[in-house]
Structure 1
């Protein structure tokens, strides 16, 4: 369904991106923000799924700033390499790329973001600093930013069995942003990723329903 494109960024370098368009007039646009594993087959399938639901969706390949075409596996080596790359990339440059991707699909209408794991924190920052309505899935790096005042709505999804995000960490989201929806599920970290042991179909389906309702509310034409 989708296609690879070149995405101009605010810096001199273009990066790749995976873009998918809906069959009819788009309901809006969604920037899909990857986990630490790059824009791999799973992330492309997420982009395709949002396009099937009526949105123009794009996943920028942030790691192209560092290495071209990074697609990592979910083994120990993949985790280690992904963590190295996100550390080297930094959140500020990722946020610049989100803004570039949002601009690239601006003809679709209002733009939001959805992010997973590391991308969940980038999605939070997209709401805080870019004013894009955003959905953050299990962002374990959110806490340092919860004091910032959101410029747009944000929805949070967490797994109750996630060892990286204990209940007290989830509670801090509710305390800092009582006006935002914070949902938990009887699942582990990465419960939306349908290519591994952490996948929890019932939780993934419910979270997707809530995510789509969020975008229907916040990206619909005024």
Structure 2
């Protein structure tokens, strides 16, 4: 079952998409799904629905609410890309992490959530998922092709929960030098597990995305599921 809910903060309220599992299949744990630069679109809702089918409570908060509520874009047109990049450039990462921390706290109190609460993010969300491992009480974090993550490697020493990272080896939004820097900084961290995907571009796991790679997406998603099963 899915529904739109509202989460309150000291600065106001924001919406979130909530998908809940069949009670017969429920695990008791939950996942906060962190959006790409396109807002809560069909891809994010499908991702939440898939986690719910696997027995997790899944919730995707509207992190653009301070700029423009209810953004829903795709990767199919130049106009949508232009708007997505404008929102990304205006986005406050620190406030975004605060809103995710608020979402985690809210999720822990939801009916049926008796176990861990993890985070998973894609693109912009991949960066934010990494930061949840350094700044929040998430029980497990998964980062898919995070952008600008190399700028926050100084926080790596604060990682206190398991962090799984999926890195595309041909990511056009993360230069090879930045990818190498990320891997070098994190490869010996006992909390971090890194997987790279040869021949894959950015967003290789985006549902119905223009760069979707079926085998790589399935491999990454299986590793993600395993990580959350261990919460």
Matched, 1:165 2:167: no
Instruction: Provide structure 2 residue ranges, at least 5 long, that are not aligned to the other structure.
Output: none
Q: Does 1:183 align with 2:195?
A: yes
1:202 and 2:209 equivalent? no
Q: Check conservation: 1:130, 1:151, Cα contact below 8 A.
A: no
The alignment partner of 2:167 has SS state of strand
- How far apart are the structure 2 equivalents of 1:58 and 1:201? 24
Query: In the aligned structure 2, how far is the partner of 1:45 from the partner of 1:171?
Result: 31
Aligned residues: 217
Q: Deviations over 1:140-181 (max 9, x none)?
A: 210111121112221110112212224443332232122311
Alignment of 1:110-129 (within 5 A): 110-129=116-135
3-state SS, counterpart of residue 64 of structure 1: coil
> Any idea what SS the aligned residue of 1:65 has?
coil
Give the stretch that moved more between structures: 37-46 or 100-109.
Answer: 100-109
Structure 1 CA distance for aligned equivalents of residues 40 and 119 of structure 2: 15
Name the residue aligned to 2:136: 130
State TM-score, norm by structure 2.
0.89
* Secondary structure of 1:135 counterpart: strand
How far apart are the structure 2 equivalents of 1:140 and 1:86? 11
SS at match of 1:181: strand
Once residues 135 and 207 of structure 1 are traced to their aligned partners in structure 2, the CA distance between those partners, rounded to angstroms, is: 10
Provide the rounded CA distance (Å) in 1 between the counterparts of 2:179 and 2:98: 27
Q: 2:147 aligns with which of 136, 140, 150?
A: 140
Q: Which stretch shifts more, 94-103 or 65-74? A: 65-74
| TM superposition outliers: structure 1 runs of 4+ over 3 Å | none
SS where residue 96 of structure 1 aligns?
helix
Correspondence for 1:71: 72
Unpaired runs of 5+ in structure 1? none
2:148–2:174 CA contact under 8 A, matched in 1: no
Measured at CA, do residues 182 and 168 of structure 1 come closer, stay the same or move farther in structure 2, by a change above 3 Å? farther
**RMSD, aligned α-carbons:** 1.5
TM (norm. structure 1) is 0.92
